[in-house]
Amino acid sequence: MEVNRTIMVCQNPHSYGHKDVWHLGNPLDSPTSLLFVQVSLITMLSQVIEVCLKPLGQSSLVSQILGGVIFGPSVLGQKKSLANALFPMKGAMVLETLASFGLMFFFFIVTVKMDIATMLRTEKQAIAIGLSTFFITLAIPGGLSFLLKNYVSMDKSLSEALPVIAMSQAMTVFIVVSVLLTELKILNTDIGRLAMSSAMSADIVGFSLTVLMFAIMQNKGGTIVSFLWIILSIAALVVLIIYVMRPAVIWMLRRSEGKPVDELYVVCIFIFVLIAGFLSELIGQHFVMGPILFGLAIPEGPPMGTTLITKMETICLGFFYPIYLAVSGLKTNVFKISFRSFWIVGVVVFVASIAKIVAVMLPGYYSSNMSMKECCMIGLILNARGIAELTLYNMWKGSKLLTEQEFSLMVVFILIVNAIISPLLKMLYNPSEQYHALGRCTIQHTRRDSELRVMICIHNNENIPTLMNILEASYASGESMVGVIALILIELLGRSRPLLVAHQEHETLRSEPCSSTQIDNALKQYTQQNEGYATVESFSSISNLDTMHDDVCRIALDKRAHILIVPFHKRYEIDGTVEVINRAMQIMNNRVLEKAPCSVGILIDRGILCGSSSLLVSRTTYHVAVFFIGGADDAEALAYSSRMARHEIVHVTLVRFLLFGEENSKERKRDSDLVDEYRYYNAGNRHFEVMDEVVKDGIEMSSCIRRIIDYFDLVMVGREHPESVLLQGHDQWSECPELGTIGDMLASQDFVTKASLLVVQQQRVRGRVIKNTNVNPMPPQKDQMMMVPDVVLPHDELNRASCSISVVDR
């Protein structure tokens, strides 16, 4: 029965008997079975649509709403028998209750990730953009709606709803922007960070005005006294959350310090969420307001924030979030929309979208020197619509402010706007383009007297001793300084906003998974050991692992690093077995290899197997080997090792594998010329040795490597090599393609060795290998020889560089 746009459904609670097929009943008559079927159908259809629309660049929000629209009165609901069987009116309450319950926890878990202090410290540029977009988009569409209302004929219901529809376009919700940027994988970029900060600024104002507007609507027809009571009740809820619930959470954190959060405390917080939602309804506000405020009151990050995210994020984002979107689609009936209403609302939405882009340009282009393209992209991002707007429209529909036509219109325009924004952003913005270096950033092509800039990425403490040894072996001296850029990689847990933190000198590094004291002490010790010859800059990247490569490449480009060293995704036990496999880290390494603006080294750290000591303390000889087959990557490894050979406690052995019978090939001659150059530069250096190993195939090369590898502490090898008989057969058993053929073989658990491995890839210029293999010489000095092409070296000079040749013939 429908009275005054309100549908009343009468049910007999005692009518549910045996509904299984064995008693000839209909299982869908049971509310529980019906809910299972509805959720399953909606989820499956949404996933199918998402797979189909993904090649078109569409976001998951579009597919999830479409899943509900298809099952609603717009498509399948037109067939009454099907609609009454799968989505009857008697089941709507149960489904909407589940969706509303999930919505409450979704907003809670998202706000738990938010840091109030960060929101309040937002940079001036972001604040200017956020406030500009809010107020300009509030004024222009609002004024346009009053003009249309007075001069264009339209339905009475639309005439009443048009002003609030226009003002709702000013909303820029942080949660919606975060979801969009995460899906587009641009959360860590400069554009993404500025858009997030701007959305935070606009959201603070928008949320406050929304609460105020809801209070005004609730007090419609009331007195000023009743309105003041509403405001006071909201203030009382805020006080209760800040001065009762938050101190209780902090007390729980103190009781859990240094250990996992107790399950009882997690349950108590869930109860607090329900109480906050109930109190919000009790004072006449929407039930999500209390959980949002309570989520903001919980300290972000570990341990509490991380624990809540771990336990709730999957079910909230993967289950409750899609259900609420689909339920909103189920309520959408496109057949209720008239063409006149469609174009009137369309004009308002279009003008609001353009106004928001223009609002970004005013402070961005004219005051902050942003390009027009960047302003347009941020404007598009801030135009995103999502679950927050749907919540608002559902609330207005429940309060009769929107009829079925206006609600359906707004859902349709959410679909249209998002369907346009996502592909446009993917087309206009390629994050990897910002990481292309203008010149060559390699060790091989860097002047030998210039500063060597080495960037190290630290994900756990186990890599620190080996990384410090590599830095020390890099030979910081008065002739050529070493600049170290240390980046601590921290997975984003318990936060919604990624952070890239630059640490000041003598500031303790803040890193949850790594011991800040150990990292800080190691870097300080390295700086003191090489005082005046080495500099250290420290950063922390708190981000999702699937977008962390953006921070790595960005810092490498900004700091003009010559090589960046990233950790391997496997960690070894003391007995040589693999302890941890981090697939997300492997994906990050692959993306770094693809997009890095400089050379890259992947460190396979086996220092734990032999208890390697620090060169900074022990000053014992550090044996380094370079396995050379040929190619640009091997040339980069050779260039790095040649620099190491200048250190007094480092001994470098260049092991060159020569294919038997290929003496006159062009590749052999080119590689020989390169090796001769480095041999010449190291003439007289007893720390640089060349070994030529002549082999017939890959099996002999592998046997030779097994025979000599344990003499070394560190082995360096190029990632890719020219096609060669020596590599045939090895690539068929590749487990880690990012290491290349030889690197994968040496990193294999079956290859028993205690030597650590550094797999080097020379900088790719626009995805291509740099073919020029000439060495950039150091300017002539009184104690340094220059390479003169046509001068024959004296025999006594040649003899000072040790050289051994062995021919393996089995």
Spatial distance between the Cα atoms of 683 and 43, rounded to a whole number of angstroms: 70
- Identify the band that residue 512 occupies on the pLDDT scale cut at 50, 70 and 90: very low
Residue 803: per-residue pLDDT: 41
Residues 761-785: what's their mean pLDDT? 52
Whether domain 2-428 has CATH 1.10.10.10: the reply is no
Mean pLDDT, residues 787-803 taken together: 35
720 has a pLDDT exceeding 60: yes
CATH of range 621-770+793-810; options 3.40.50.1010, 3.40.50.620, 2.40.40.20, 3.40.630.10: 3.40.50.620
In the predicted model, what is the mean pLDDT of residues 183-201?
A: 81
Whether 738 contacts 602, CB under 8 Å: yes
- What six digits make up the tokens of 541? 């990247």
- Kindly indicate the confidence band of residue 362, based on its pLDDT and cuts at 50, 70 and 90: confident
Residue 13: predicted pLDDT: 60
Average of per-residue pLDDT across 135-164? 88
How much is the mean pLDDT over the chain? 79
**For residue 78, what pLDDT is reported?**
80
DSSP 8-state symbol, 701: H
DSSP structure string for 394-408:
HHHHHTTSS-HHHHH
Asked if residue 687 lies in contact with residue 677, where contact means CB atoms within 8 angstroms, the answer is no
Q: Which amino acid is at 523?
A: L
pLDDT band at 410 (very low <50, low <70, confident <90, very high): very high
Angstrom distance (rounded) from CA 163 to CA 479: 71
Q: How sure is the predictor about 496, in pLDDT bands with cuts at 50, 70 and 90? A: low
Tokens coding 463: 């890599």
For residue 170, pLDDT over 50 is answered with: yes
For position 127, what pLDDT does the model report?
Answer: 85
Ordered by start, the domain boundaries in the chain are 2-428, 435-606, 621-770+793-810
Residue whose C-alpha is closest to residue 444's, from 678, 618, 272, 652: 678
Question: Quick check: 656 pLDDT over 60?
Answer: yes
pLDDT band at 21 (very low <50, low <70, confident <90, very high): low
Q: What percent of the chain has pLDDT over 70?
A: 81
Cis preceding-peptide flag for 303 (omega within 30 of 0): yes
Topology of domain 435-606, CATH = Rossmann fold (3.40.50)
Burial class (CB in 10 A: 0-12, 13-18, 19+), 549: buried
- The average pLDDT across 71-81 equals 83
Who wins on pLDDT, 552 or 87? 552
Residue pair 469/441 in contact (Cβ under 8 Å)? The answer is no
The mean per-residue pLDDT over the stretch 20-49 comes to: 78
Domains 2-428 and 621-770+793-810 share a fold: no
Do residues 18 and 25 lie in contact, with contact meaning Cβ atoms separated by under 8 Å?
yes
pLDDT score at 782: 31
Q: Name the residue with tokens 């956020």.
A: 130
Q: Who wins on pLDDT, 26 or 452?
A: 452
Assess whether pLDDT exceeds 50 at residue 510.
no
* 6-15, 350-359, 461-470, 731-740, range with the lowest pLDDT: 6-15
pLDDT single digits (tens) 258-294:
677 778 888 888 899 999 999 988 887 888 888 988 8
- pLDDT mean over 152-181: 86
Question: Does the pLDDT of residue 11 top 70, yes or no?
Answer: no
What's the confidence (pLDDT) of residue 574? 64
| pTM confidence score | 0.74
